[in-house]
Structure 1
Amino acid sequence: MPALLMKSYNIYSRIKFIGLIISGIFLFGMMVFIVLDVLSRNFLSRSIPGNYEIVRYYFMPLALFPGVAYAYGTGIFPRITMIVSKLSKKIQKFIVIVLLIVELILFSLIAYFGLQYGLHGIEEGLAFPAGGKMYPLYPFIFLVPIGFAMLIIEIIFLIIKNLLSDGPSLTVTGDVEEEVIPNQ
């Protein structure tokens, strides 16, 4: 890949890593919150008010969406390209590019409609009841389009790499051992 493209991807990789850190922090926070709720129920005979809703609407989205682009970029998600390993490199590369374009279209639709839903949530002031209080939901709805926008950027880098390279590739950097699909 050209140097400028690789430099851009390195900057993007730092952003993805920050998302991974955010996901890890909130995953740990969710575990601590759940443990505190269990301890509260067992020792104080009462639960933290709204604990289920807070975990569901705040912790879970913050534990998932900021880190999804990092996970996708590592190439660990199963892809149909593993099935076509007996085909020639040109056909494999074509299939990889077609599948990436399909993913790009699908993730773009999810990001677009997620953004529309988030904007609607701002207009409506979406909130959820928990423990007798109303907590705003609309800021966290934007995690969906942001997470999928990060996936879109990753896919664009992958498409560019596959167009510029000789063989098919499932990662931009090649950090995965089986970056190129084996031709057996």
Structure 2
Amino acid sequence: MLAADTNIHALADILYDRGLANARTGRGYYLFLLSALIIALSIPLLRIDLSTPLNEPIRFNRARQKIYAYNFKPHWTAPFSPWPIETAVYDWSQVRAEFFYYSSGSNHQYGITLSIVKPGTNEVIDRFRMTYNNASEDPWLYIHTYMEKGPEALPLRPPTRPERTRLVQPPPPLGAEGEVARGHRP
């Protein structure tokens, strides 16, 4: 702590000697430098927060047995230039599904990650998330069935929940004179 304190005083002495600061404006100058540094560091972070895509789609091409993943790559060295979205193409035979779970205090993240492996090995080349905070394996089974057996093997529509019964029935619609409209029971 003593060395850092000495360095700050040495910097202040240099600024005083060169006339860049005096006894009245010395602290204001440090405050100005600190403010400029905070603004300069926050611009790239703000850009990442505002311009990052909300999702990165994964496309499955059954005819070619390929998957296409879109990867957003921010460049820290060029915060004001356009950041590209790169397309990665992989063979379906290289795809494996993994369930992931991360926990940090009250923050729990889980879902399915698609892993791309080298052909003939289990060495992972790339990973990207397919689902987020969904513990079900149904999305992976649906995609796997589509890629292996085709759309004919898929269910006609996803199963739906049974119709809920209402505790309170809405009132029937009224006709022109206030009577119950035809076709509705009172």
Q: Give the greater-gyration-radius structure (CA).
A: 2
> Greater strand share, 1 or 2?
2
> Greater helix share, 1 or 2?
1
Is the shorter-chain TM-score for this pair beyond 0.5, marking a shared fold?
A: no
Q: Which gives a bigger RCO, structure 1 or 2 (Cα 8 Å, sep 6+)?
A: 1
Q: Which interval holds the TM-score relative to the shorter structure?
A: under 0.3
Q: TM-score when scaled to structure 2?
A: 0.22
